[in-house]
Amino acid sequence: MREVEKYWVKQLLKGVVLAAGIGKRLRPITETRPKALVPILGKKLIEYPMNFLKLFGLEEIVVVVGYMAECVEAELTKLCEELNLHCVFTKQEQELGTGHALKIALKKVGGEDVVLVYGDLFLDPAASRKLRQVVDKVKSRDMVVGVIKVDDVSRYAYVKVVNGVVKELVEKPKVRQPGYANAGVYFIPSKHLELVEQLEISPRGEYELTDLVVNAVRRNERVYTFELEQDEWMDVGLPWLIIEANKLALNKWGKKLILGDVEPTATIKGPVIIEENARVRGSTYIMGPAYIGRDADVGPNSFIRPYTVICEGARIGFSVEVKESVVFEDVHAAHLAYIGDSVVAEHVNLGAGTKLANLRFDGKNVKVTIEGKRIDSGRRKLGAIIGGYVKTGINVSIMPGVRIGSYSIIYPGVTVYRDVPSRTVVKHDWV
């Protein structure tokens, strides 16, 4: 990078990361951790947008925190030291939307151009080069918005793009159709920051950051786009997308890396990552792509199937099968369990014979209750979504798509057919 470019990046540009959200749709996972700290292949989710900003060339980043702010600040303080970033935290006391969060961040920015990223995205850091190319092309004079092609724009902010320029933006349109969605990545030149203060509360009762784009277009300002590819971006907004984001990360890794201890009779097939101080015991069979985190203990006689992620300190014991699941830190499944297409949060203890079923008897897509509504996951196979610190007794069966709230206890022999609220003791079949 030339000296002039270095000066431009350091002196005239700051990063903003929005990490204040509660993540209601991810419950029960977010009952015990903020959404930004969901694990993606040994890293916290927010590390990906932070690395995106680092690779863009930024050195100063303002992070807006809110829900479980202390946890986010502690994690990012360590990360910023590792990345040699100067991070400033500011708190959003009320959850009034992304536009309100940016208003708070601007008090720390000081009138400079801003690169803003949502902190709950899986975002390939290398994609920052695409943004940089467009910003350089427009000489930092115009706003730039990241977009991605989706099958159904009704779940997102729909962006009508003509020749790389935004012509219209509609928040969650009623019509289901393919198109471009807002990807939650923005370059905002200082001349547009005045528009942030002019944002008004939307019908949803929030200040919407997307209205900043709408207002700029209405003023006949050019708003440019850069397109992210399907393997560069994912909005981890629903529980099963934690599995999908980890799959995406595993596919991008694509090679074998063994740093831990693998006993001679264990079998490792394909691109498997085994971190330092992890242990894989005898007669265990691991099929990649898969990830075994630091200090994890797997086996003997465990079967780890493709797209399984076992996080730091987890214990997967004798005759436990794990398939396409994300097992968080310090989970304990010591013997004779099946974990299929599931998300299991930290410090869960699965008793012997616990089965997390992943396939409906009629073979239809699994539905999950999200904020009181039954949502089609789009997955024929989806197991349980288990919150942190849950304990199951022996021979517990949990049906596909069921959510178990944090700190709940499921007694031996129980079959769980529907969601269990947090801090619930279930002694009989839960129908």
* Rounded-to-integer distance, Cα 119 and Cα 46, Å: 5
- The answer to whether residues 270 and 414 belong to one domain is yes
Task: Based on the fold, state whether residues 284 and 168 are members of the same structural domain.
Answer: no
Q: Is the pLDDT of residue 418 over 90?
A: yes
Domain count, the chain: 2
Domain of residue 53, residue span: 3-235
Task: Identify whether 431 is part of a domain.
Answer: no
Give the pLDDT score at 195: 84
Say yes or no: 176 and 270 in one domain.
no
Is residue 208 within 8 A of residue 198, CB to CB? The reply is no
177 lies in the same domain as 230: yes
Distance CA 268, CA 251 (A): 17
Task: With cut-offs at 50, 70 and 90, classify the pLDDT of residue 108.
Answer: confident
Check: CB of residue 387 under 8 Å from CB of residue 422.
Answer: yes
Is residue 378 pLDDT above 90, yes or no? yes
Q: Which of 235, 269, 304 is the last residue of a domain?
A: 235
Average confidence (pLDDT) over 245-262: 94
Q: Is 154 inside a domain boundary?
A: yes
Q: What is the pTM of this model?
A: 0.93
Least confident among 21-25, 388-392, 421-425: 21-25
CATH number at residue 282: 2.160.10.10
Residue 110 lies in a domain: yes
Indicate the residue type of 83.
Answer: L
On whether both 92 and 206 belong to a single domain, the answer is yes
**Does residue 271 belong to any structural domain of this protein?**
yes
- And the tokens for 428? 């009989």
Same domain, residue pair 274 and 213: no
In a domain, residue 109? The reply is yes
Q: Read off the DSSP letter of residue 288.
A: S
CATH number of the domain encompassing residue 158: 3.90.550.10
Tell me the per-residue pLDDT of 393-406, one tens digit each, with 9 for 90 and over: 999 999 999 999 99
Which of 170, 205, 235 terminates a domain? The answer is: 235
pLDDT at 12: 66
Residue bearing the bigger pLDDT, 168 or 427 = 427
Last residue of a domain, one of 206, 235, 264: 235
Which residues are registered as beta bridge partners of 223?
A: 143
Whether residue 229 is found in the same domain as residue 303: no
Calculate the average pLDDT of the chain: 92
Same domain as 121, residue 44: yes
Tell me the per-residue pLDDT of 280-333, one tens digit each, with 9 for 90 and over.
999 999 999 999 999 999 999 999 999 999 999 999 999 999 999 999 999 999
Residue 141 in domain: yes
How many angstroms separate the Cα of 382 from the Cα of each of 84, 135, 152, 325, 357? 40, 41, 21, 9, 8
Comparison of pLDDT for 12 and 1, the residue scoring more: 12
260 and 301 housed in the same domain: yes
What angle in degrees, to the nearest 10, is found between the helix axes of 69-83 and 47-56?
A: 40
